[in-house]
Homo-oligomer: A and B are copies of this chain.
Amino acid sequence: MYTARLPEGPGHQAAPAQTAMRVKAHPFTSNLVLRPLDALDRWCLSRLASTLRGSPVRLRLWNGANIALGDATPVATVVVHDRVTLVRLLTQTALGFGEAYATGRLTVQGDLVRMLEGVNRALAGRPFQGARQSRSASRAAARHNVHVHYDLGNDFYRLWLDEAMVYTCAYFDGPEVSLEDAQRAKLDYVCRKLRLQPGEHVIEAGCGWGALALHMAREYGVTVRAYNISEEQLRYARERAEREGLGDRVTFIDEDYRSIEGSCDAFVSIGMIEHVGRAQYAALGSVMNRVLDPAHGRGLLHFIGRNVPMPFNPWITRYIFPDAYAPTLDDVLRDILEPSGFSVVDVENLRLHYARTLQQWLERFEDHAETIARMFEPEFVRMWRLYLASAQACFLTGDLQLFQVTFARPADNTRPWTRESLYAHQLHGSL
């Protein structure tokens, strides 16, 4: 299990010996032991303790005061280095925590992932202000959003992704499988779900560094047109296609999904819907309907989802994934597949596979934290540590899902009787 390292931050100091001063009795702050704090501090602490009650977290303040938030054994200590940060934790919890963590005004001693899991669990079941996303990114905004995340530099992603540069949920046959093997297994699993046949044409929307497109062409003998709007990724993917001698069978196209043309036997999109925005789902569905063969066309959508409609936390959409939205499964069915009458063939939830994937990314990320700090700055390292840790926690606690939806034309009767063939195969291609 990953344990967060303590970043340097202003005002951090060893906890002094505690002196006893209990604030007024509160069921969730009964072990609230404070050194002199003013009334505002005490009110903030009491409110925060109420919000986070049951979390396995200890708070430590700038003056060394320690506050446990519940009966659970703490797995981490959150050190709040100043009063402004304490107030922000109360008024803008997720955004305040993320920003303070990134700048070092707040530090975490202990296991960051387990702490975030514990907070998620403590918050589970509380009434949530769920809402479906309403806005979507324009083409220009989409290009900008992709640029700020995916164009951070191939050298950066190469440090902690697998060798094939797959930046989406892997597929682990078991807990001991390596990230490299699990990513290759995922690529092949997707191909088997799509039942690709040699000579077929595939369109991929949002192809990352091209790993799936190249795998499909190399291992299944199909021709692929793969779309992406990240320049860094496209450059890398094209070089790789040439190097592998697949340049004639895989074309990487610098276009938005809305500009997809032509026709295909299979359509696949891995990890793109999160960036599409609900208001554009109908447009995406209509593209799929237009390009897919009317008789035997089929496809697979792989995306981060939710059990209940809810926006991403505001820190994630401000600092990590602008405009991102993880839809519910029924958002995708109702707005993308249903208007074209597509038939859902298979849905699989791979939530724990993404938790495992993120765990491995985070371990590799930590192994290169100093290099990354030199490439960017220490604040960037803390920001991305928190992003990878909190995503892992959300998949572990079921706050995020990973859905693979396989769909087909409604009258296509050529499917096998059972799904057994998805599992009877050895991994296609060499290991």
Docked pose: A347 CA to B334 CA in angstroms: 16
Docked pose: A172 CA to B415 CA in angstroms: 13
Contact of A346 among B348, B401, B424 (CB under 8 A): B348
Give 11 CB contacts A-B under 8 Å: A172-B417, A173-B417, A173-B418, A328-B334, A333-B333, A334-B334, A343-B351, A343-B401, A344-B349, A346-B349, A398-B413
Interface residues of A in 299-325 (CB under 8 A from B): 307-309
Q: Which residues of B contact A413 (CB under 8 A)?
A: 352, 396, 398
Q: Are B417 and A174 in contact (CB under 8 A)?
A: yes
Q: Are B417 and A175 in contact (CB under 8 A)?
A: yes
Docked pose: A418 CA to B423 CA in angstroms: 9
Please, what's the 1-or-0 string for A276-311, where 1 marks a CB less than 8 Å from any CB in chain B? 000000000000000000000000000000011100
**Contact flag A334-B343 (CB < 8 Å), given A307-B410, A352-B413, A417-B174:** no
Asked whether A121 is an interface residue with its Cβ less than 8 Å from the other chain, the reply is yes
| Shortest Cβ distance from residue A271 to the other chain B in the assembled complex, whole angstroms | 19
Copies per assembly:
2
| Shortest Cβ distance from residue A305 to the other chain B in the assembled complex, whole angstroms | 9
Nearest residue (CB) in B for A346 is: B348
Using a CB–CB distance below 8 Å, which chain A residues touch chain B? 121, 124, 171-175, 307-309, 328-330, 333-334, 337-338, 341-349, 351-353, 396-399, 401, 403, 409-413, 415, 417-420, 422-424
Nearest residue (CB) in B for A420 is: B423
Ranked 8 nearest A-B pairs via Cβ: A398-B410, A347-B347, A330-B330, A330-B333, A420-B423, A398-B411, A330-B334, A307-B343
Docked pose: A351 CA to B419 CA in angstroms: 13
Q: Which residues of B contact A347 (CB under 8 A)?
A: 344, 346-347
| Shortest Cβ distance from residue A142 to the other chain B in the assembled complex, whole angstroms | 25
Q: Which residues of B contact A412 (CB under 8 A)?
A: 398
| Shortest Cβ distance from residue A294 to the other chain B in the assembled complex, whole angstroms | 9
| Shortest Cβ distance from residue A128 to the other chain B in the assembled complex, whole angstroms | 9
Q: Are A411 and B330 in contact (CB under 8 A)?
A: no
Q: Which residues of B contact A397 (CB under 8 A)?
A: 410-411
| Shortest Cβ distance from residue A309 to the other chain B in the assembled complex, whole angstroms | 8
| Shortest Cβ distance from residue A13 to the other chain B in the assembled complex, whole angstroms | 36
Docked pose: A417 CA to B172 CA in angstroms: 7
Docked pose: A337 CA to B401 CA in angstroms: 14
Q: Which residues of B contact A175 (CB under 8 A)?
A: 417
Q: Are B352 and A417 in contact (CB under 8 A)?
A: yes
